[in-house]
Structure 1
Amino acid sequence: MRTARTWPTLGAALTYLGTSFGTYLKAILLLQGVSVLVVFPGLAWLFELALDQAGVEAVTRQTLGEVLRSPVADLLILLIGALACLVVLVQVGALLVIAHRLAHREPVTVRTVARDLLGAARKLLSPQVLLFVPYFFVVLPLGNVGVVATVVRGIRIPRFVVGSLLETDAGTWLYYGFLAMVLYLNLRLVLTLAVFVTSDASVAASMATSWRLTRWHTWRFVVLFGVVLAVAATFLVGVVNVGLAPTRFTDRVMPDASPLVAGFSLAAVQIAVFVVTGFVAAMLAQVVVVALGVRQGEGPDGGAIHSAPAEPVAARLHGPRWVRVVVGIAGVVALAVLSVYNTSVMTDIGNRSETGVIAHRGYPSRGVENTIPSLEAAAAARPAYVEIDVQQAGDGGIVVVHDTNLARLAGTDRDVYDLTTAELTATTVRAQGHEATVPTLDAFVDRAQELGVPLLVEIKPHGHESPGYVEDVVALLQAKGVAGTYLVQSLDKGVVEQVEALAPEIGTGYVLPVNLGRLPATTADFVAVEESSFTPSLLAEAHAAGKQVFVWTVDEPAAMRGYVREGVDGIITDLPTRAAHERDAVVADTTLSSRLEDAVHGILSW
C-alpha cells in the first residue's frame, strides 16, 4: 500500500483546486446560505419548541431535569440531533464528493453531488448512525482536524471547566490527556467521511477503513493540514492589515469618513475571510480525498485518480451565462448591504456605557484566592466589586472559601462542613507562590470596608448547611451596614429568592454556568453568565427585562474589549488591572480603526 507523501499530495490537491475553486466557492456559498436561511432558524425553532414543551425558558443546571422528564421535549431534542448529523454530513460530505468526482474526472453538478449525498444519507438509516453522534459532536469539533461543519464549529469545552481542571495537577493531566486522545482519534478517523460518501461502506466500515489506512501515518496528516492552515493564516494576516489600513488613514486625516470606510473595510474583510475559509475547506477536502486515493493504491501515475480535472468537467460547473450574471450582481449587493450594515455597527459599538470590572475571588495571581491578601491586591485595581465565595462551617460560622474540599489549596482531604470555624481560620492555603489563612466573612467585610471596596458575595451551598444559613449571611451584611451596597449571587435560584425576601435592598444575581436558550425566569437583578453561554440576544433580552448581565471568567484582553463593546454590565475576571486597562482604553478611544480591529478579531476567532 502506497504512502501518502506530503508534497505530492499537496501538489495534486492544489492542482484540482486551482482549476475548480469557483465550483467549491459556489458549493460553500449554497451550503452556508441554506444553513443560515433555513437550517439554523429551523433548528432554533425546534429547540424553542422543545423548551416550551418542557415548560422552561432555557436548559440550565437546574432545568435540565425538567427537560429530560418531558417525553415530547426529549423526542424533539433527538430530532434536532438527527438533523444536525444530517447537516454535518451534507456540509462536509458535499465538499468531499466534489473532490472525489474531480479526482476521478466524473461530472460535478448539483444533481450528481445530491445523488451521492442521498445515497450516503440512506446508510444512516441504521443503528450505526449512533457511532456518528460522538464523532460529529465530540471528536470533530474538539479535535478540529480536517473539514469541520459550521453547525458543530462552536462546540468546545466551557472555559470554567477547563479552568477548574487546570487548578490541580490531576485535573491538568486529565484535561491534556483528553485533548491528546481526541486529537489522536481525529487523525485516525480523518478519512471516515470520505470513505462513507464515496463508497458503499457503512458507518462502522468507514471508521474501520480510516483507522486501518491511517496506521503509522497520522503525523503526515498533521503536516498536510498544518501547511494548509499556515498558508491560509499568513494570507489572512495580510488581508486584515490591508483591510485596516484605510480606516487607520481616515482616522488621522478624515475622521468623519471613518464610519463609512470602516463599514466597507469590514465587509471586504468578511468576504475575504469567507473566501479564505472556503479555500481551506476545499483544500482540506481535496487533500483528504487525494490521501485516501493514495493510501488505497490510486494516484497520479496509475489507478483512478488523475493529475488534473478534465476541462469538460470543470466547464459544466459554470452553468448558463445568466447564472454568472446573477451571482455577480448578488456579490455586489452583498458587499453593499454588508457595508451599510457594518457602518451602523461600527458607529454603535463605540456608544456603550462603562462596563464594571469585578475581581474574581480577589486577585488570585497576587494572593491566594478568597483571602485578605487577595482582597488587598484587588483593591489596588479599583474594581467595581470584589467577588468572593462563602460557605458554612461545621459549627455554623461563615467562611470565605470556594472549594468544599480543602485538598486543592490546603493539601488536606477534609471538607468545610466537617471543620469548625476556628479550625478553618487556622488552615493555611497556598497557591502561585502565595499563602494565607482562610478568613471569616466577618473579617473579610471589615477589611473590605477599610479599603472602600464593595463585595459581590456568592453563597455556595454544600448540602450540609443549617436551616438558617442564608439568614446568617444576610444578617451579617445588614449588621455591617453594607446590605445596600453589596451584591449577592448564587447558583441556587432558591437561595437568590430567599435573599430577596429577607433583604430587598440587596442586589441579587443568578449564576448560569450553562444556559442554552432564552433568559431564564428569575427575579434576580442580574445574571452572571459563563463566557460560553453568553450571546448578544441574551444581553438584549436581559436589558429589555431591566436586568444586568455579568460575564465570567474573562481573562483574554481581546474578549475583555469585545464584552465592553457589546455593552455587558460587568466583567468578572482574574486580572482586574488588565481588565480595567482594556475597558478604559475602549472607552477613551474615539477612533474607528480600533473598533474595526476588534470586530475583525471577533470574526477570525469564530
Structure 2
Amino acid sequence: MKILRRQLQLTYHFLKQSHHSFRDVLVVHGLMLFIVIPGLTATVKFLLASGDITYLALDQFFWLLTHHPFVVASLIGVGILILLAVFFEFTFLLFSMYFIQKKQRIRLTQLLRLSIQQMKKIRVSVLVFFLLYFVLLLPIGTFNFRSDLLAKIQIPAFIMDYIFANRVSVIASFVVGYLVLLYLGIRFLFVLPELIFNNKKVGEAIEISWTLTKKRLFFIFFTFLGITLSILAINALAFILLIFIQNLFDSYLPKYALIAAVFIMFFMQAALLLNVVLTTISSFYFIIFILDQEQRLPEQLIPLPSHIAATFSTWQMIGLALVGSLFGVSVGLYNYDYLNHAQLSVPLTISHRGVSNGNGIQNTLASLAKTSTTYHPNYVEMDVQETSDHHFIVYHDFSYRNLAKTSLVPEENTLEQALSLQLKENGQVGNIASFDAYLKEAKRLNQKLLIEIKTQQKDKKGLAERFLAKYKTEIDDQHHLVQSLNYQIVETIKTQAPEITVGYILPFNLVGPPKTQADFLVMEMTTLTSQFVTSAHQDDKKVFVWTPNDIGQMERMMFYGVDGIITDRMDLLNEAKKIETTEESYADKLAYFVVGIG
C-alpha cells in the first residue's frame, strides 16, 4: 500500500506539471514515425536496390560481405544511425522532463538544440555501452519504455512458442535469463541520465546508477508496472464505453450510426495517442524525479529567458488552425473509408506440421490422417528434406535428436536409416514417413499440402532440380503448394516450374516485401503489419502467416487481411472463421480497429 500511495502521489505531481511536455513527446514521436523510420527504411531499400540485392537473409551474409562490401558497410552505418536516433530520442525526452521538474519553461527550438549539442559529445565507449543498454531495457520496455525504433526489436513468437513447448529446463533458463536482464536493466536505469546530465564516464555512471537503485529495486519495478497497468485500464474502459455507445447508435439510431462511428473512431485514436504520450512522459519523469531527490540534476542546463510568451501570434494561430483542419479532415476521411470497407478476411486454414493441439507426432502419416479427417484444413503444412541417397523424407529438424534421441542428421544419412528410427512426441510413438508415402496418403484423403523444402546443402539449385524431377507432375496435378526459407530454392522452382504455386518464407519484416518470383509470402506473425499485407497485395502476392495459436491473434491477422493462417490450433482457427463477415455492425468494425492496433 505504501508503494501504491507513493505512486499515486507521484502521478498526481507529474500530471499537475507536465501539460507542456505533451508537445515535446508528440514532436519526438512525429520525428521518429514520419521522418526517421521512413527515412531509414528508404535508405535500406535504396542500398539493396543499388547493389541489385533482392532480399536480406542470414544465410547470405558472407556472400554479401564478399560481393557487396560497400552495401554491408552502408547497412552497418544505418545501424549506427538507428542507435544515434534512439540516443537522441532518449536525450530529448530526458531534457523535456528535466525542465518540467525544475519548473522552467523552454522553447521547443531550445530543447532540440540542446539535444543536438548533447549528440556531439557522444564517445565510442558510450555507443558500445548503448548496445548493451538497449538489450537490458527490453524487459523493462515490456512495461513502459515506448520508443518507436526500439518497438521494432521483438522476440519472434515462434521462438517463444518453442521455449514454452519444451522441457522445464528450457523454460526455467528463459525465465531466469529474462529476470537477470530485468534486474540489470533496473540497476543500470540511471546510467544514461548520468552520461547526459553530468558528463560522467561509462564506468562512473554505472557505479552511480548501481548505488541509486540499491534500495529502490522493487519500488522502481512496481512503479513502472503501476504506470503501465493504470494507463491500460483507463484505455480499456474508454474503448468499452465508446463501443457500447456505438452499439446504441447501431441498434436505435442506424441513420446516424456511420457519422457517430467516424467521431467515435477519432476519440479512440486520440485515446491511443494519449496512451503513448502518458506512458512515455510518466516513465521519463519518474527517472528525473528520483534523480532530483538524490540531487543528481544540475541546477541549470542553459540560460533561459525570464519570460516565454504564453500566447500565439496571429500568423501562428492561422498556421495551427490550418494544420489542425487538414489533420482533422484527413483523419475523418480515413475513418469514413475504413468504416465503409473494413472487414475480416476469410483465410485459408493450414495445419502446422499436420498437428493440432498436440494430437499426434508432427509430420507423420497418423497425424496427417487424424488432423485431415477431424479438422478438414484447406492445407496441411509439412517439411521435406533430402537424404544422403537422394530420397526425400518428411521431417522438420536438421537433426533427429529432438524426436528420435539420436545425433544422426537427415541429409547425412540414408532413407533406410531414417525409416528405421522411432519418434516420440505428445505421448505417442511413430515413424518417419517418406515423402512418397506422405503424398500417397494425402491423395487418399484428398488433402492438399503446403510443402516446405528444407536444406543445409550448399547446392540449393541442384536440390530443387532433383525435387522437381521427381515430384513436379504430381504436385501440379494435386494442386499442392511449395514453400521454402531459401531464396535460391524458391527462384529455381518458380523459374523451372512456373505452373507450381510457390511461397517464400520470411522470419521477420525488415523493410517490407522482398522482390521475388514467389506467388505468396509466408510471414512470421510477430513483425507482420497491415502495411506489409497491403504492399504484398499491391505486388499481386498473397500473404500467409505463421503461427497464431489463439483466437485473438487469429482475428488480428484476419483484420490485417492475410490470405492464409498456419496454426497449431486448427480447432480455434475453425472457430475464428465462423465469425460473420457479411453483416458487420460499425461497433464490430471499431472492435476490429482496436484488435488490429493491439
TM score, norm. by length of structure 2: 0.88
Residue 18 of structure 1 aligns to a residue whose secondary structure is helix
- The answer to whether 1:213 aligns with 2:212 is yes
Match of 2:341 in 1: 348
Query: What is the deviation of 1:389?
Result: 0.3
Contact 2:555–2:595 (8 Å) recurs in 1: no
d(CA) in 2 for partners of 1:482, 1:211? 64
Aligned: 1:582 with 2:572: no
**Structure 1 letter corresponding to 2:348:** G
CA deviation vs aligned residue, 1:261-305 (integer Å, no higher than 9, x gap)? 33322221111121133122222222111222334589xxxx989
Residue deviations 1:490-527 (CA, integer Å, cap 9, x gap): 12233234434554432222222234224323222222
Alignment counterpart, residue 358 of structure 1, candidates 350, 354, 374? 350
**1:305-336 deviation line (CA, Å, top 9, x unaligned):** 9xxxxxx99x9584437667865775565444
**Residue in 1 aligned with 2:262?**
263
1:401–1:438 contact (8 Å) kept in structure 2? yes
Is 1:30 paired with 2:27?
Answer: yes
Give per-residue Cα distances to partners, 1:395-419, cap 9 Å, x unaligned.
4332211012122122233222344
Q: Retained in 1: the 8 A contact 2:96–2:111?
A: yes
Equivalence map 1:121-520=2 (5 Å): 121-136=119-134, 138-144=135-141, 146-169=144-167, 171-255=170-254, 257-295=256-294, 316=308, 318-320=310-312, 334-350=327-343, 354-364=346-356, 365-379=358-372, 380-463=374-457, 469-470=463-464, 473-477=467-471, 483-500=477-494, 503-520=497-514
**SS of residue paired to 2:149:** helix
Q: In the superposition, relative to structure 1, how do residues 8 and 519 fare at CA in structure 2: closer, same or farther (>3 Å)?
A: closer
Hey, what's the Cα distance between the residues in 2 that align with 1:297 and 1:519?
48
Asked whether the equivalents of residues 531 and 551 of structure 1 are also in contact (C-alpha less than 8 Å), the reply is yes
| 2: CA distance, partners of 1:183 / 1:346 | 41
1:52 is aligned to: 49
Task: Assess if the C-alpha contact under 8 Å between 1:58 and 1:517 holds in 2.
Answer: no
Q: 1:470 to 1:591 in 2, by over 3 A?
A: same
Of residues 497-506 and 209-218 in structure 1, the stretch that sits farther from structure 2 once superposed is 497-506
Q: CA deviation at 1:171?
A: 4.2
554-563 or 139-148, which deviates more:
139-148
Name whichever of 501-510 and 560-569 sits farther off. 501-510
The one-letter code of the counterpart of 2:547 is T
Match of 2:95 in 1: 97
Aligned-pair distance for 1:475? 4.9
Q: 1:24 to 1:536 in 2, by over 3 A?
A: same
Contact 1:17–1:282 (8 Å) recurs in 2: no
Is the 1:50–1:74 contact (alpha carbons within 8 Å) kept by the matching residues of 2?
no
Give the alignment partner of residue 10 of structure 2, picking from 6, 10, 13.
13
The one-letter code matched in structure 1 to 2:488 is G
- How far 1:31 sits from its partner (Å)? 1.7
Q: TM-score, normalized by length of structure 1?
A: 0.87
Q: 1:88 to 1:480 in 2, by over 3 A?
A: closer
1:384·1:454 contact (CA, 8 Å) conserved in 2? yes
**3-state secondary structure, aligned to 1:201:** coil
Please tell me whether the aligned partners of residues 158 and 532 of structure 1 are also in contact (alpha carbons under 8 angstroms): yes
Kindly state the Cα deviation for residue 359 of structure 1 after the two structures are TM-superposed.
Answer: 1.0
Q: Please give the alpha-carbon distance, in whole angstroms, between the structure 2 residues aligned to 1:481 and 1:57.
A: 27
* Residues 480 and 417 (structure 1), Cα distance of their counterparts in 2 relative to 1, 3 Å cut: same
SS at match of 1:134: helix
Residue 95 to residue 545, structure 1, CA distance change in 2 (3 Å): closer
Displacement of 1:77: 2.8
The alpha-carbon distance between structure 1 residues 524 and 36, as it changes in their structure 2 partners (threshold 3 A), is closer
Secondary structure of the 2:20 match is helix
The AA in structure 2 aligned to 1:339 is G
| 1:70-85 correspondence runs (5 A) | 70-85=68-83
| Distance in 1 (alpha carbons) for counterparts of 2:475 and 2:410 | 27
| Mapped contact 1:561–1:586 kept (Cα < 8 A) | no
Distance 1:526 1:372 in 2: 27
Aligned equivalents of 1:6 and 1:76: distance in 2? 48
Match status 1:42 vs 2:43: no
- RMSD across aligned C-alpha pairs, in angstroms? 3.2
**SS in structure 1 of the partner of residue 363 of structure 2:** coil
Matched letter for residue 198 of structure 1: F
Q: Are the counterparts in 2 of residues 109 and 317 from structure 1 also a CA contact under 8 Å?
A: no
Q: Deviations over 1:109-133 (max 9, x none)?
A: 3355345424432321444322113
State how far apart, in whole Å, the 1-side matches of 2:160 and 2:453 are: 22
Q: CA deviation at 1:256?
A: 5.7
Q: Note if contact 1:167-1:408 (Cα within 8 Å) is conserved in structure 2.
A: no
Contact 1:410–1:429 under 8 Å retained in 2: yes
CA pair 57-318 structure 1, distance change in 2 beyond 3 A = farther
Partners of 1:413 and 1:75 in 2: CA distance = 39
Partner of 2:544: 550
> Contact conserved, 1:92 with 1:148, CA < 8 A, in 2?
no
Tell me by how many angstroms 1:152 deviates.
1.2
1:202-260 deviation line (CA, Å, top 9, x unaligned): 44433332123212432221111111112111111111112212322233234564444
Cα offset, 1:360, TM superposition:
0.9
One-letter amino acid of the counterpart of residue 278, structure 1:
V
How many angstroms apart in 1 are the aligned matches of 2:458 and 2:100?
66
Contact kept in structure 1, 2:82 and 2:149, CA below 8 Å: yes
1:602–1:208 Cα change, 3 Å: farther
Q: How many residues align?
A: 587
Determine the C-alpha separation between the residues in 2 that align with 1:63 and 1:265: 48
Give the structure 2 partner of residue 308 of structure 1. Answer: none
Which residue of the other structure, out of 53, 57, 61, is the alignment partner of 2:58?
Answer: 61
Q: Write the distance in 2 (CA, Å) between the matches of 1:376 and 1:192.
A: 58
Aligned partner of 1:529 in structure 2 is 523
Deviates further, 208-217 or 63-72: 63-72
Paired AA for residue 159 in structure 1: A
In 2, the alpha carbon distance for the partners of 1:465 and 1:39 equals 40
5+ unaligned residues in a row in structure 1: which ranges? 306-311
Q: Which runs of 4+ in 1 moved over 6 A?
A: 464-468
1:23 CA displacement = 0.8
Q: Which has the higher contact order (CA 8 A, sep 6+)?
A: 1
- Taking a change above 3 Å as real, the CA distance of residues 394 and 52 of structure 1, as seen in their structure-2 partners, is closer
* Identity fraction in percent: 22
Is 1:599 aligned with 2:593? yes
The separation in 1 between residues aligned to 2:361 and 2:309, in whole angstroms, is 63
Aligned-partner residue type, residue 158 of structure 1? P
